[in-house]
C-alpha cells in the first residue's frame, strides 16, 4: 500500500500549501501543480496498474476522497482570498460621502469680453445690428475708403503693421463701415450697426497703449441724421455703462473720415467732476472719437451725400474697462495673471 502512503504524504504537503497560500495566484498554481495531469496525484494513480485487484478499490476510494477534499479546501481558500481581495479593494476605493465636495472651477469670460458684450447688448436693444469684419484688411478699406488716400499725412495717426503693400492688420474697426455701407440697401431704411473686434497698431506698449487692443465702431446712416443724434446716443451709452448721473461733452477734433469730428469726454465717475487723479484734475475723461460721416466716405459707397447723412464713433473697450473698474494698466488685460482675471469672475 505504498501508493496510499505516497498519497498521504502528498495530501499533507498540499494542506500545508493551501494553508500558506496568500493569493488567488497561489491557489491557481497549487491547482495546476497538484491536480493537473502532470501532478503527483495523477502520477501516483498511474501506479494502480501494478497493485493487486484486492487493493485497487481501496486506493481508488482514497484517491477520489482525497481529490474531493483537496478540491473543496482549495475552493474554500479561494473564496476566502477573493473576499479579502474585495475588502481590500473596497477599503482602497472607499468614498467618504460626508466629506465636503470640491466645487467645479468654472471659467468666466475675460473682462474685456464682458465689457464688449455689455456694450453690444445695449446697442442691440437700441435696434443696431452687430457686424464684424476681417482683422487682416486691405489698405483700400482700412485707409482709402476712410478718406485717407496714399501719402495722406493723417495715416501717421495710426502706425500700421503692413503685411505687404496692399494688406495690413487693421488699425481701427472703421473699415467695417465701408464694407457694410457697400452692402446695405438704403431704400429699405437706415443702417444702424456696431462693429466690435480686435485692432492692431505699432504703438509702444505702456499703461494706456497696447499694440493689440479692441474697438467698437458705431455707424448710423440715413436721412436727416445729425450731430444731436450722436450726442443723444452716446449719452445713453455713457449712462448705461458708467452710471445714470454721468454727463458727456463733445470737443472739436479731427478724423479724416468724419466732418465735423469730435472727441467725447465723460464726466469723471470717481470725483463727479470735482477733479481727481483719474481725470487728471479736469473733471472729464476722454472715452471715444466720433463725428458726422464725411461726405467723401458716403459717396465712395455710392450714396448721395446730399440725401444721406450719418454719424460714426469708435470707442476703445479696453479703456472703458480700465475706467469702469479702476484698472491702472492696460497690460493687465493681456498678461493672463489669474489673480487679476479672477477679480472679474
Which residues of the shown chain bind ligand FA5 in the complex (CB under 6 A)?
158, 172, 174, 201, 203, 209-210, 213, 215, 217, 255, 257-258, 288-291, 312-314, 316, 318-319, 330
CB-based closest residue to ligand FA5: 316
Q: Which long-range contacts (CB under 8 A, 24 or more apart) does 300-304 make?
A: 300/145, 300/147, 300/178, 301/145, 301/178, 301/181, 301/182, 302/182, 303/181, 303/186, 303/221
Tell me the closest approach of the beta carbon of residue 198 to ligand FA5, in angstroms. 11
CB count within 10 Å of CB 316 equals 22
- Cβ nearer to ligand FA5, comparing 73 with 126: 126
Strand ranges in the chain using DSSP code E only, listed in sequence order: 129-130, 136-138, 167-169, 191-200, 212-222, 248-255, 258-267, 284-293, 309-315
- Cβ nearer to ligand FA5, comparing 77 with 142: 142
Tell me the closest approach of the beta carbon of residue 211 to ligand FA5, in angstroms. 7
Tell me the closest approach of the beta carbon of residue 240 to ligand FA5, in angstroms. 17
Is 259 annotated as belonging to a binding site?
yes
Q: How far apart are the first and last CA of the chain?
A: 89
The three grid cell numbers given for residue 259, joined into one nine-digit string: 466732418
- Cβ nearer to ligand FA5, comparing 54 with 204: 204
- Cβ nearer to ligand FA5, comparing 139 with 318: 318
Tell me the closest approach of the beta carbon of residue 245 to ligand FA5, in angstroms. 22
- Cβ nearer to ligand FA5, comparing 215 with 301: 215
3-state secondary structure of 158: coil
User: Is residue 216 within 8 Å of residue 315, measured between CB atoms?
Assistant: yes
Rounded Cα–Cα distance for residues 322 and 329 (Å): 8
Tell me the closest approach of the beta carbon of residue 302 to ligand FA5, in angstroms. 20
Specify binding-site residues for Mg(2+): 259
Specify binding-site residues: 259
Amino acid at each position: 500500500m505504498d501508493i496510499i502512503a505516497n498519497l498521504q504524504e502528498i495530501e499533507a504537503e498540499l494542506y500545508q500549501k493551501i494553508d500558506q497560500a496568500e493569493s488567488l495566484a497561489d491557489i491557481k498554481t497549487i491547482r495546476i501543480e497538484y491536480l493537473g495531469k502532470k501532478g503527483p496525484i495523477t502520477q501516483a494513480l498511474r501506479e494502480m496498474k501494478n497493485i493487486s485487484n484486492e487493493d485497487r478499490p481501496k486506493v481508488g476510494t482514497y484517491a477520489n476522497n482525497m481529490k474531493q477534499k483537496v478540491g473543496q479546501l482549495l475552493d474554500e481558500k479561494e473564496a476566502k482570498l477573493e473576499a479579502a481581495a474585495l475588502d481590500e479593494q473596497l477599503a482602497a476605493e472607499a468614498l467618504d460621502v460626508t466629506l465636503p465636495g470640491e466645487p467645479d472651477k468654472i471659467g468666466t469670460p475675460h473682462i474685456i469680453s464682458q465689457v464688449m458684450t455689455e456694450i453690444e447688448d445695449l446697442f442691440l436693444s437700441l435696434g443696431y445690428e452687430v457686424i464684424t469684419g476681417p482683422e487682416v484688411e486691405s489698405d483700400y478699406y482700412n485707409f482709402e475708403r476712410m478718406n485717407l488716400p496714399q501719402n495722406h499725412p493723417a495715416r501717421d495717426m495710426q502706425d500700421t503693421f503692413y503685411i505687404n503693400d496692399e494688406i495690413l492688420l487693421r488699425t481701427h474697426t472703421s473699415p467695417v463701415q465701408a464694407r457694410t455701407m457697400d452692402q446695405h440697401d438704403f431704400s429699405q431704411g437706415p443702417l444702424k450697426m456696431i462693429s466690435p473686434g480686435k485692432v492692431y497698431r505699432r504703438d509702444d506698449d505702456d499703461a494706456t497703449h497696447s499694440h493689440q487692443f479692441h474697438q467698437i465702431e458705431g455707424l448710423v446712416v440715413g436721412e436727416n441724421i445729425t450731430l444731436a443724434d450722436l450726442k443723444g446716443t452716446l449719452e445713453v451709452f455713457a449712462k448705461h455703462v458708467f452710471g445714470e448721473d454721468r454727463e458727456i461733452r463733445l470737443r472739436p477734433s479731427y478724423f479724416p473720415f468724419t466732418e465735423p469730428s469730435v472727441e467725447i469726454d465723460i464726466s469723471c465717475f470717481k470725483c463727479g467732476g470735482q477733479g481727481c487723479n483719474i481725470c487728471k484734475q479736469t473733471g472729464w475723461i476722454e472715452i471715444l472719437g466720433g463725428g458726422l460721416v464725411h461726405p467723401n466716405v458716403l459717396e465712395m459707397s455710392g450714396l448721395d451725400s446730399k440725401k444721406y447723412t450719418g454719424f460714426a464713433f469708435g470707442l476703445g473697450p479696453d479703456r472703458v474697462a480700465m475706467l469702469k473698474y479702476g484698472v491702472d494698466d492696460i497690460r493687465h488685460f493681456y498678461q493672463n495673471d489669474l489673480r487679476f482675471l479672477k477679480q472679474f469672475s
